[in-house]
Amino acid sequence: MAKNSLPHEKVLRIGIAGLGTVAQGLLTLLVENAERITRQAGMPIEVVRIASRSAKPEVDVGKAVFDTNLESLLHDDVDVVVELIGGVDAARELISSALTRGKPIVTANKAVLAEHANEWFSGDAILGIEASVAGGIPIMSTLKSGLSGNRVDWLVGIINGTCNYILTAMDEQGTSFADALKEAQDLGYAEADPGFDVDGVDAAQKLALLAALAFDIPVSMDDMYIEGISGVTVEDLRYARELGFRIRHVGIARRNEEKFETRVHPSLISATNLVGDVAGVANAVIVGANAIGSILLVGPGAGGLPTASAVLSDLIEIARGTYPRLRIGQNEGIRVPVAATESRYYLNIPAADRPGVFGEIGDILRRGGISIEAVIQKREAIRKTDGESWVPIVMVTERVVEASMDDALSHLSSLESVRGQIRRIRVADFDR
């Protein structure tokens, strides 16, 4: 308990690494919300040092001492280091150095945490991580404190705003993936190199952290299934709506006794589910647990001020002496590969438009033990390619183990009557 005590004279002196959007947001809030922060923390929070490897700070650093050497933040005059440089190598070194010296550090850096958190959480160190996932939504605090008396069973999160923006635009305006991506880039919601977001890596790193806090298991991307949104078409979004679903890119973590599955992929979500209505760059996390049933949190997943708000909530808890020791990794956490997980599936099968084809497809599914729950095949969807007519057969299956589905899909793909690639999207089933 004494670990939380800090040597200070009624001021929390912080040193900030980085001068990007989040750091600037933090500097703004420390001035604008000074009264509330001092009241909540029980003392003022003062920036005494700022370090950034770019030579000259373009922003006003006030009375803080500026240095291009990150190690300057480890001086004795800094009570807590705030790591906002991003990237892995330099951030890792800074975090390790701070923790080795027993200096609390707060970070917004999911990438470095996804790779190295386990080495850090085994000790007594205070490492604040609220800002690393879902920006201004206090999801880490909810998992580490609000639901601490629950056995968490699952969570589903819209945790990448770029993907959600693109899918919402495709869904609502019928824009193609390429055009929606371009629009997101123009608005600053997507990077020039969008792969990190649209391929699901960003969401995967966040999911690894969420799962660790939810289940007390180590942070790990081993055996995590990761799929981006580039394979989703406007056609899929339309069929999904017709079938009573939305398509969202989500991270899913689920417990089955003491085994855990983690996966990141586009998912059909029931239109009756509030999460399906979360549009644009917003993030949302829904947590299922044995005492509360489920709770949903929706808010801003990124941005300078929301992320700085999360950094501040950690700093205030540290000032109060109430930042808890996180229980990450105290549970072994056997991972289940995606092939062993169970879902309903949306299938979009481009099939030759001639008698008997539906029967062939049905036969393969039946042999794989896969039941069909709903199916749509439309006269007006018939198209002609190379002189031959074909039509998308769209269906939602009942729950089945993924390995069986993979097997059936490889059989289906080899049918002479199947023209081109079958699209498969998992259905995410959960309450609320």
From 182, 206, 378, 384, the catalytic residue: 206
Applying CB under 8 A, which of residues 11, 20, 21, 40 lies at the interface with its own copies? 40
Helix, strand, coil percentages for the chain (3-state, nearest 5): 40, 25, 35
**Alpha-carbon distances of 13 from 7, 27, 64, 304, rounded to whole Å:** 10, 13, 10, 21
Enter the tokens of residue 341: 């997980």
For residue 148, state whether it binds its own copies (rule: CB under 8 A): yes
For residue 298, state whether it binds its own copies (rule: CB under 8 A): yes
For residue 432, state whether it binds its own copies (rule: CB under 8 A): yes
CB of 139 to its own copies, least distance (A): 9
Applying CB under 8 A, which of residues 11, 65, 221, 297 lies at the interface with its own copies? 297
For residue 323, state whether it binds its own copies (rule: CB under 8 A): yes
Applying CB under 8 A, which of residues 44, 57, 138, 350 lies at the interface with its own copies? 138
CA distance 415 to 360: 8
For residue 317, state whether it binds its own copies (rule: CB under 8 A): yes
Of 156 and 409, CB closest to its own copies: 156
Contact partners, residue 148, CB within 8 Å, separation at least 6: none
> Phi/psi at 361 (nearest 5 deg)?
-65, -45
Applying CB under 8 A, which of residues 72, 233, 256, 294 lies at the interface with its own copies? 294
Applying CB under 8 A, which of residues 31, 32, 124, 382 lies at the interface with its own copies? 32
Strand 282-289, strand 293-300: pairing: antiparallel
For tokens 């949903």, name the residue: 296
CA angle 423/424/425 to nearest 5° reads: 125
- Sequence length of the chain is 432
Active site residue 206: yes
Buried/exposed 79-110: b ≥16 CB within 10 Å, e otherwise? bbbbbbbbeeebbbebbbbbbeeebbbbbbbb
For residue 171, state whether it binds its own copies (rule: CB under 8 A): no
Of 282 and 349, CB closest to its own copies: 282
Which residues bind to its own copies, rule: CB under 8 A? 1, 4-5, 25, 29, 32-33, 36-37, 39-42, 130, 135-138, 141-142, 145-151, 216, 274, 277-278, 282, 289-300, 305-306, 308-309, 311-313, 315-317, 320-325, 327, 330-331, 432
Name the residues annotated as catalytic: 206
